[in-house]
Structure 1
Amino acid sequence: MGHVRKDSEHHEHLEPAKASAHSEASEASEAGNRSGSPVLSRRALLGAGAAALAVTTAQWTPLGRIAAASAATTIPAPPQFPSGIALYQQTFQNWSEEVLVEGLWSASPASPADVVTLANWAHANGWRLRPRGGGYSWSPLVTPAGTPANVLLVDSSNLTGISVNSAGAATGGASVTVQPGATMDTLLGTLKSAGLGFTGFPVIGAGTVGGALATGGRGTGVPAVGETRLPGHTYGSLSNLILSLTAVVWDPTQGAYTLRTFQRTDPQIQALLVNLGRVFVTQATLRVGPDQRLRCQSWFNVAATDLFAPPASAGSKSLASYVDQCGRVVCIWFPFTTSPWLRVFTPTPNQPWVSRAVTGPYDFTFNDIVPKNVSDLLSQIVAGDAAATPQFTAAQMDAISAGLIATGTWDIWGWSSDVLLYVRPTTLRITSTCCNVVTSRARVQQVVSDFYAQYSAKLAAYAAQGQYPMNAPLEIRVTGLDQPGDCAVPGALGAQLSPLRTRPDHPEWDTSVWFDMTTVPITPGCHQFMGEMETWFRSHYTGSYGAVHNEWPKEWANGPSGAWTDSAAIGEAIPASYTDGQAAGDGWNAAVATFTALDPNGVFGSPFLDRVLVPGS
């Protein structure tokens, strides 16, 4: 197991937080019980405006399907469609429900060979294919609104194979081969049973492995002071652990699409490791290492002004201090409140006597429940009373505090996936713009302090005008970068489109700070606000200070009219962010050229990717 220096004095100042949180949360919980207030599913809150406040606990699932042979189909069937592959009509809707595309056909291949068959059929008939996983994203990477009818969604739900090779786990030799349709829940559960795991991973376990790899999925964590990285682990993205992958690509000698396996030393794999769905990966082999027991403690007694203090005045309650102590920190701050929900995850081989052992994930069950007073406030906001936002965010924070006490989860201990998976598909539907700042570990506190000052000032300026565009939590995490050597393949190459890619011109940059700014999708002014924040990020964290990337599956290139509308960001700033500081011929344009070479016919493209994945200036 990795070694972490223990600092009991650092934790002592936290102990009163439990009593404080217990007292405040108990009062909130008792008040709710006295009033007899019902609770409802967070997912139920938002469907379409005020009507979304209906009481229901149904889990989000993709909209229903109509078999191709049914008389209920409403669009012409694809011509000369290959026999033996399931075909059906289904409306596509992403998880945040902001992308809705009707009138599309979907197919469910049963094997990688079926995907090859589909690719060759599409090429011969002038169709395009889009890989589809669980749909748990905010972005139109799968397919955007307005997608033409000659686009076929390729459902990966039958491609779920997982094979674990645990030999040599203690020295970093273990691996897992997985198909793209397997969910993160299934993969992590399989690895846990074999005594293996990852340091970090996306917290929505219902998402697919294919989706996580295509977008550079990551978790939270850097080495704590005194901690040694476990063999087979990385503090970067899941894609950084890929040893090899197999994709459907064009073979010019055969004049057809075929399966081809790429090793981690192949120059073309650099574009495929994080590919945005521009290719169809049918399986990947990833390095894995020994699983870890983690202790997760939740705190509420640390003021935001202390947590995000400028370095000159920061003390033992600063975010950087917690990162140094534990390495794994998740900070959730609701706008207009004074103290965030701070969670620290500490590698702890043996169960502390004050911690409750957990044996499965999703232990923060209150995340899926919204008390009536919170839903009432959201009703007011949806109805046009934006000034209720501060009460709404404070009520959300109170509900979390009460929930932690009611479920006994303020201090839990278990295997990595048991404590790091905590978001179900039933959670509140919010939209998110996430920017990450690649910088040096020594500047983490300055990075968060600068952001907090800017974000708070902008919230206040909007509020002074009667506008409240942000009504959901800000989430901050700190991760390492994609160090190719972590996969233990000599000569391993990095992902050209990973937000966690290292910068050769700044070897001191070893850390990434992620700022996930969320709000209810229908909130007026949210896109303008987030677009202004994106512009500030790019203008502030520059030069020797750091560099900025957006998280691919979230919203980005925001403008007053919506996400992905800032043409300057799409055509200039974003491509430059993946080119600056890299070796000549090893940046954004190189990745675009690889996609073109492996799929010159654009079979796996889309109108959205046609606009995004073009050579930068």
Structure 2
Amino acid sequence: MPNYNLRCQSFTDVHYAELFASTADETPLSISKILDSAGRMEVIWFPFSQKPWLKVWSNEPQKPASSRAVSGAYNYAFSDNIPLFISNIIKGILVAKPKLVPAFGILQSVTTTLALKGGANRANLYNQVVSNTSSRSLTRDGVSNETITEEEFEAFLPYIEAVESTQPDNTNARSLFAQNYDIWGPAWKTLVYVRETTLRVTANGYAVHLNRADVQPFLHDFANVYLRLQSEYAGRGQFPIAGPMEIRVTGVDKTEGLNLSNANPPALSATTDTQDPNLDAVVWLDLLTFADMPWAGEFYQEIEEWLYQQLPAHQVRVEWSKGWGYNGAGAWKNEDFIANTVPTTFSTATRPYEETAARLRQYDPHYLFASSLIRKLVP
């Protein structure tokens, strides 16, 4: 397929209740409505914040007048230029003092809004987010107001200074060229943004196969479960999810259009066709946090159990590169999930799981190239 041009617009002024509305028609800014109009979108929802970072991609052969043409990938310097030692400092702070997670989530949300316009310097951030007069209280829906104290602001100065170092001089002459909220260029240049210097986090990951009409109600339910668990854990003084929720929606793997006879979709792809024509959309779910965050394994396990209680196993595939199979000890520790649930998720795939496992055993009969996890998946 030849490359084509995409416009990527970022928005940070849409409340999560609109995006995750119960029905598609409840609001023109529901996720489903955005998919209808543009086709590609992503939600990055920082913990305890009210307005996620929404990205919307649209096909634009010619550059729109208000867009900035980009010359390469990685166009969000404020989020993908965090030195490892800074990332480790933030991790150390939050692992030691989990009650700072709401403040960090709010700070990241405000930072994103300012940085997309090239103005996330220390002074602007301080004026926007610090309040020593209004108290912040936790609620079922997050927090009562999105402010942090001066002490919390000072705790995260290493992160703030790292972000500030990526921002241009705050002058009108450069602001147009600094903005990242409306970019345009070859598709991959607007889609690729995670690199080795992005904040170092861990994540769970699932690919949920749904009918397109069910995407909105499913995401509404998922968001409510996330908020409920976040509130319950916070009520016990536990803040395991220190990073954002990330949502993407794609199609399924099909072979039509490949111009190859007898082609089959990848056997173990998370998006391999279930052979049910009604399941034509895939919702990708990720919850990010720092490694070693207390109670993260338990939180992830509750999310995982909810997913497989809501839907048949063949509709919920694991994202191999992320965490799954959780218990209190962490990812890939739930032996029953690995041995029994994972194979079942491919029960309706073009090639059954056991057939694929047999082929892998044939290729490596002595398990010379197998890790301990592979041995569990392909016994």
TM-score tier by shorter-chain length is: 0.7 to 0.9
C-alpha deviations, 1:222-277, integer Å up to 9, x for none? Answer: xxxxxxxxxxxxxxxxxxxxxxxxxxxxxxxxxxxxxxxxxxxxxxxxxxxxxxxx
Which of the numbers 257, 263, 284 marks the counterpart of 1:514?
284
8 Å contact 1:480–1:511 — kept in the other structure? yes
Partner Cα distance (2:335, 2:367) in 1 = 22
Query: Runs of 5+ in structure 2 lacking a partner?
Result: 119-177
Q: Identify which range, 486-495 or 407-416, moves more after superposition.
A: 486-495
| Other structure's SS at 2:213 match | helix
| Other structure's SS at 1:453 match | helix
1:459 counterpart = 2:230: yes
The TM-score normalised by the length of structure 1 is: 0.50
Pairing 1:189-200 to 2, within 5 Å after superposition = none
1:608 counterpart = 2:373: yes
Pairing 1:87-486 to 2, within 5 Å after superposition = 289-311=1-23, 314-369=26-81, 380-383=93-96, 385-406=97-118, 407-486=178-257
Say how many residue pairs are matched. 318
C-alpha deviations, 1:581-617, integer Å up to 9, x for none? Answer: 346xx31100011112223233322322111223xxx
Question: Who wins on radius of gyration, i.e. which is larger?
Answer: 1
Equivalence for 1:541 = 311
Equivalent position amino acid for 1:561 in 2: A
C-alpha deviations, 1:373-430, integer Å up to 9, x for none? Answer: 99987654233x2221111100011111121110311101000111111112011110
Compare the two structures and name the one with the higher helix fraction: 2
Which of the numbers 357, 376, 379 marks the counterpart of 1:592?
357
Structure 1 residues 391 and 359 mapped into 2: Cα distance closer, same or farther (>3 Å)?
same
Equivalence for 2:162 = none
Equivalent position amino acid for 1:451 in 2: F
Partner Cα distance (1:516, 1:607) in 2 = 24
| Other structure's SS at 1:534 match | helix
8 Å contact 2:5–2:60 — kept in the other structure? yes
Query: Runs of 5+ in structure 1 lacking a partner?
Result: 1-288
Identity of paired residues, percent? 33
Equivalent position amino acid for 2:198 in 1: T
- 1:313 Cα offset (Å): 6.1
Structure 1 residues 491 and 378 mapped into 2: Cα distance closer, same or farther (>3 Å)?
closer
C-alpha deviations, 1:477-509, integer Å up to 9, x for none? Answer: 0011001223221321122211101122x2111
- 1:451 Cα offset (Å): 0.4
- 1:323 Cα offset (Å): 0.9
- 1:293 Cα offset (Å): 0.3
Structure 1 residues 376 and 338 mapped into 2: Cα distance closer, same or farther (>3 Å)?
farther
Partner Cα distance (1:302, 1:322) in 2 = 12
Equivalent position amino acid for 2:27 in 1: G
Give every structure 1 segment of 4 or more consecutive aligned residues whose post-TM-superposition deviation is greater than 6 Å.
373-377
Partner Cα distance (1:587, 1:498) in 2 = 12
Equivalence for 1:196 = none
| Other structure's SS at 2:204 match | strand
8 Å contact 1:370–1:399 — kept in the other structure? no
Structure 1 residues 394 and 370 mapped into 2: Cα distance closer, same or farther (>3 Å)?
farther
CA RMSD of aligned residues (A): 2.1
Partner Cα distance (2:104, 2:349) in 1 = 45
Partner Cα distance (2:363, 2:238) in 1 = 48
Structure 1 residues 381 and 408 mapped into 2: Cα distance closer, same or farther (>3 Å)?
same
Equivalence for 1:568 = 336
8 Å contact 2:209–2:282 — kept in the other structure? yes
Equivalent position amino acid for 1:512 in 2: V
Equivalence for 1:86 = none
8 Å contact 1:378–1:392 — kept in the other structure? no
Structure 1 residues 312 and 553 mapped into 2: Cα distance closer, same or farther (>3 Å)?
closer
Compare the two structures and name the one with the higher strand fraction: 1
Partner Cα distance (2:330, 2:54) in 1 = 31
Q: Which has the higher contact order (CA 8 A, sep 6+)?
A: 2
8 Å contact 2:252–2:281 — kept in the other structure? yes
Equivalent position amino acid for 2:330 in 1: G
- 1:309 Cα offset (Å): 0.8
- 1:352 Cα offset (Å): 0.5
Equivalent position amino acid for 2:361 in 1: T
Equivalent position amino acid for 1:532 in 2: E
Equivalence for 2:264 = 493
